């Protein structure tokens, strides 16, 4: 930890030195403890077991530099559970969440390189999920183009698990990412308040113990957003296709052939200036039980946000192989500039038939209600609290393998405090 502090101080001094001649440097922090009561969170809980009660904390220290032709950011992160470190032994681990620079080639063209979060459109495929205690970042090179008419990004990544003189197996495991990844994103405002975007993502996964064979997974599609201040209506439509191979399903010496898709629609209506109603559906394709060997129709979210969609209790953070339908609706209200509420309900079901003990089972996976309160105490301090409750069905219990077991009523409560102080900011300097 001392080494990290020394490195950060040196980084700040160097960046501050640059800023005196070329730009501006800012240092800020984030302290975010979250206490949760988990009684059936993510999985139904047998009544012979006690609910979980814990506090997670994420701490970040960030340094940003903004100049005429160069921007940079370094962010150190510590994500922990209260009590998981020995008080008498220094076992803390600080990770590098972000470390990137952006070189401004022209007024509309730039190159951004290093460890960085990737966030596009509604964050279904590539997200920087703020809810997560660790979030997601990638080691990637990104070319960016922006004009008054269009935005375009192209990203490239090539991963290795260690420093080596040889090309060795990287391998796909749940703890490792793609071996190689590239993507392209294009966004254009086609009418006032209407934006259309397209994205295509290629991932390459090595065959286990044979780095010379790489299996592709290709995801592509688009996002149409209507949000016009002059209209009380708003809408978002999303559609993605997946082809290639499914790295989570082995077949023979490789992975199953993949043909999957995802469709989503959300419509909003401003009842009043501070009250908005939402109605939507998410559809993730799934694989039938009798699907041909070596085939898969199960959609994968890639590196998208999970908590933001399909229920806050995260019962389907890992999508069922049978696919998922989520019908939802809710209300958002803003009481005053500091206080707001959100209420949303979900109805879940399988896409394909679910077979339990060789018998076809009802597709109904139950329902969920989520309630969230947001309060802004000051510019630096926000408080969020929430309560969620899941209503199981027989199919839910069978899917989670608790059929015939008495379970607690699934419910989850949390309270999260976020403090983001700005520690220091160099005076702005005119850049010539």
pLDDT digits (tens, 9 = 90+) for 282-337: 999 999 998 999 999 999 999 999 999 999 999 999 999 999 999 999 999 999 99
**Residue 203 in contact with residue 220, Cβ under 8 Å?**
no
In the chain, what are the domain boundaries?
Answer: 32-57+94-425
**How much of the chain, in percent, has pLDDT values that exceed 90?**
80
Q: How confident is the model at residue 202 (pLDDT cuts 50, 70, 90)?
A: very high
Q: What angle do CA 158, 321, 301 make, to 5 degrees?
A: 40
Q: Can you give the pLDDT at residue 174? A: 61
User: Helix or strand or coil: residue 12?
Assistant: helix
First-to-last alpha carbon distance for the chain, in angstroms, is 39
Average pLDDT, the chain: 92
* Chain-centroid distance, C-alpha 236: 18
pLDDT digits (tens, 9 = 90+) for 320-334: 999 999 999 999 999
The mean per-residue pLDDT over the stretch 236-242 comes to 98
pLDDT digits (tens, 9 = 90+) for 51-102: 999 999 999 999 999 999 999 999 999 999 999 887 766 656 789 999 999 9
Q: Can you give the pLDDT at residue 1? A: 47
**Residue 200 in contact with residue 120, Cβ under 8 Å?**
no
- From CA 322, how far away is CA 328, in angstroms rounded? 19
DSSP state of 229: T
Q: How confident is the model at residue 163 (pLDDT cuts 50, 70, 90)?
A: confident
Residue range 32-57+94-425, CATH number:
2.40.160.100
**Burial class (CB within 10 angstroms; exposed 0-12, middle 13-18, buried 19+) of 238:** buried
Q: Can you give the pLDDT at residue 165? A: 86
Better pLDDT: 171 or 278: 278
**Residue 245 in contact with residue 215, Cβ under 8 Å?**
yes
Q: How confident is the model at residue 7 (pLDDT cuts 50, 70, 90)?
A: low
């Amino acid at each position: 930890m001392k080494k990290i502090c020394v490195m950060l101080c040196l980084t700040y001094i160097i960046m501050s030195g640059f800023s005196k001649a070329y730009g501006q440097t800012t240092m800020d922090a984030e302290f975010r403890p979250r206490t949760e009561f988990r009684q059936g969170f993510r999985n139904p809980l047998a009544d012979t077991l006690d609910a979980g009660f814990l506090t997670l904390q994420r701490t970040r220290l960030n340094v940003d530099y903004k100049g005429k032709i160069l921007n940079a950011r370094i962010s150190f992160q510590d994500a922990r559970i209260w009590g998981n470190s020995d008080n008498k032994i220094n076992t803390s681990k600080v990770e590098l969440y972000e470390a990137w620079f952006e070189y401004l080639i022209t007024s509309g063209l730039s190159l951004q390189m290093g460890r960085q979060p990737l966030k596009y459109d509604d964050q279904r495929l590539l997200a920087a999920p703020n809810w997560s205690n660790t979030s997601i970042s990638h080691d990637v090179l990104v070319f960016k183009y922006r004009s008054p008419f269009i935005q375009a990004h192209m990203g490239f990544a090539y991963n290795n698990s260690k420093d080596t003189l040889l090309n060795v197996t990287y391998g796909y495991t749940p703890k490792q990412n793609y071996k190689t990844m590239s993507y392209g994103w294009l966004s254009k405002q086609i009418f006032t308040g209407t934006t259309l975007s397209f994205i295509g993502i290629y991932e390459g996964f090595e065959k286990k113990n044979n780095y010379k064979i790489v299996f592709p997974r290709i995801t592509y599609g688009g996002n149409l957003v209507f949000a016009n201040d002059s209209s009380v209506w708003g809408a978002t439509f999303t559609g993605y296709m997946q082809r290639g191979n499914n790295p989570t399903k082995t077949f023979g010496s490789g992975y199953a052939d993949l043909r999957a898709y995802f469709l989503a629609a959300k419509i909003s209506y401003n009842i009043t200036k501070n009250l908005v109603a939402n109605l939507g559906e998410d559809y993730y394709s799934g694989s039938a039980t009798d699907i041909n060997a070596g085939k898969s129709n199960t959609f994968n979210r890639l590196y998208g946000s999970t908590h933001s969609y399909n229920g806050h209790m995260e019962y389907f953070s890992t999508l069922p192989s049978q696919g998922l339908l989520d019908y939802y609706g809710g209300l958002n209200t803003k009481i005053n500039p500091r206080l707001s509420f959100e209420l949303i309900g979900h109805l879940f079901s399988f896409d394909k038939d679910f077979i339990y003990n060789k018998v076809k089972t009802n597709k109904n996976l139950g329902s969920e209600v989520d309630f969230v309160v947001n309060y802004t105490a000051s510019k630096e301090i926000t408080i969020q609290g929430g309560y969620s409750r899941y209503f199981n069905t027989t199919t839910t219990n069978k899917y989670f393998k608790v059929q015939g077991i008495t379970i607690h009523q699934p419910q989850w409560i949390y309270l999260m405090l976020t403090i983001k102080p700005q520690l220091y900011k160099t005076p702005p300097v005119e850049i010539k």
